[in-house]
Amino acid sequence: MISGMISGMVTMSVEQFEELVANGLDGIPAELGATMENVAVVVDDLSPPGRLLGLYEGVPLTQRGNHYSASVPDRITIYMATTCGACQTTQEVVELVRRTVIHEVAHHFGIDDQRLEELGWA
């Protein structure tokens, strides 16, 4: 989970925002991306109330055991309205989407918020 401050508003199409999310995923090192398993990444253009920018829901790779087979895919949701509302420029949206994607993918790999904060990605 990652939250941001609401300070401005950038408008763009859902397609443009989805492309930024795809670019964020493409920016993950290939060896890491290849190990992502059973996870769907989606954009929520409306966003829930509050300041949530992204959300990981699922079982991190580090906690999956034999019981995990045939499980519903994990889900990473990137919240478009909250992200665009937290930014004043398109470039800020690009950077915030990239950071949020990395943050939520890190949760998929079992990295918690405390460790992400230590790494400067919280």
Three-class secondary structure of residue 4 per DSSP: coil
Burial class (CB in 10 A: 0-12, 13-18, 19+), 28: middle
Beta bridge partners of 13: none
Parts of the chain with a pLDDT under 70: 1-8, 68, 70, 122
The structural architecture, per CATH, of the domain 2-62+71-119 is 2-Layer Sandwich (3.30)
The per-residue pLDDT for 19 is 97
109: number of Cβ within 10 Å: 13
Beta bridge partners of 44: 79
The per-residue pLDDT for 5 is 46
Residue spans of the domains in the chain: they are: 2-62+71-119
The per-residue pLDDT for 2 is 52
The per-residue pLDDT for 1 is 55
Half-sphere exposure of 60 (CA within 13 A, CB side): 13
Encoding tokens for residue 13? 């199409």
Backbone φ and ψ of 30, nearest 5°: -55, -40
